[in-house]
Amino acid sequence: MPDMPRSAAPIALAALLAMCSVACRKEPSPPAPHARTAPATAADNAAKDYERHVAALRKRAPEGFTIVVQKPFVVIGDEQQATVHRRASGVVKWSVEVLEAEYFDKPPANITDIWLFRDARSYQSNALALFGKKPTTPYGWYSDTDDALIMNIATGGGTLVHEVVHAYMRSNYPGCPVWFNEGLGSLYEQSEDAGGRPRGLLNWRLPGLQRAIERDSVPTFHELTAMDDAAFYGEGSGVHYAQARYLLYYLQERGLLRGLWKELRASQTSDPSGFATLQRVLAEEDMSAFQGRWQAWVMELRWEG
């Protein structure tokens, strides 16, 4: 290669360095992205809600109580730990499965507590201490203000199923007439699994209803369906419960109960008491004549308590 003139050397070297600077310049690396956290799912949020709820219950529940999550409920009881778990995974779980399959599209809107007190003494004292009120029934009740079912579980698991119905009714049928709400709850106080469907059985309310029929002290169905809470739970409430229960039992035995449920909800604006809907589902023009036949049918039933 011939020698480069001296005068050209600085120019050529400068050009070479410039070219190298451009060619060899390293582009800065983009900043490392921050680790991205997957957005919380509805299930994640629900799990955290239950965690917070249980943590609060642990602070509130008296010593010796067991807490079991059985969605959409939380079961709290003072029986033996294994017994509380068995009630949650047995009665509560079964109730949820069959009632949702048969009637209810939505779970209770809020996490709902099921307080199971082992006997009458525990029920009386803890209901007062935890909820500030003395029970007015030996069995239990559903408190929508507390999102809680409070019960004396010594009276049997039927009370538990009854109250679970009320917890679901609030979110699925606002404004449900009291006769249907209590009738459906009472129907499943004594029940069985019929191929994945709940089936009410005869129970202890039957003899009282039969005595009332003999005394001719049973309200007409028009009167029953027109009752507000004060009337239904007032004087004669035992007869009202039994009448509503065995009306729904009659419908169940004829395959009409689920249809009545759907029709009542669809017609609640035009027929808030449900009487016209009941008459339509029964296909009865004369409800007085029907009541006579229904009462005769009830008198033929036999409960071996």
Using alpha carbons, list the distances in angstroms from residue 52 to 40, 63, 110. 16, 19, 13
**Per-residue confidence (pLDDT) for residue 18, from 0 to 100:** 42
Residue intervals in the chain for CATH 3.40.30.160: 50-55+62-172
Using alpha carbons, list the distances in angstroms from residue 133 to 76, 130, 138, 145, 277. 18, 8, 13, 13, 37
**Per-residue confidence (pLDDT) for residue 169, from 0 to 100:** 96
Secondary structure in 3-state letters for the chain: CCCCCHHHHHHHHHHHHHHHHHHHCCCCCCCCCCCCCCCCCHHHHHHHHHHHHHHHHHHHCCCCCEEEEECCEEEEECCCHHHHHHHHHHHHHHHHHHHHHHCCCCCCCCCEEEEEECCHHHHHHHHHHHHCCCCCCCCEEEECCCCEEEEEHHHCHHHHHHHHHHHHHHHHCCCCCHHHHHHHHHHCCCEEECCCCEEECCCCHHHHHHHHHHCCCCCCHHHHHHCCHHHHHCCCHHHHHHHHHHHHHHHHHCCCHHHHHHHHHHCCCCCCCCHHHHHHHHCCCCHHHHHHHHHHHHHHCCCCC
**Per-residue confidence (pLDDT) for residue 298, from 0 to 100:** 98
In 3D space, the residue among 72, 104, 112, 95 whose CA is nearest the CA of residue 261 turns out to be 104
What fold does the segment set 50-55+62-172 form as a domain? Glutaredoxin (3.40.30)
**Per-residue confidence (pLDDT) for residue 26, from 0 to 100:** 45
**Per-residue confidence (pLDDT) for residue 265, from 0 to 100:** 97
Predicted confidence pLDDT, tens digits, the chain (305 residues): 444 444 444 434 344 334 434 444 444 555 555 555 556 687 788 899 999 999 999 999 999 999 999 999 999 999 999 999 999 999 999 999 999 999 999 999 999 999 999 999 999 999 999 999 999 999 999 999 999 999 999 998 888 999 999 999 999 999 999 999 999 999 999 999 999 999 999 999 999 999 999 999 999 999 999 999 999 999 999 999 999 999 999 999 999 999 999 999 999 999 999 999 999 999 999 999 999 999 999 999 999 87
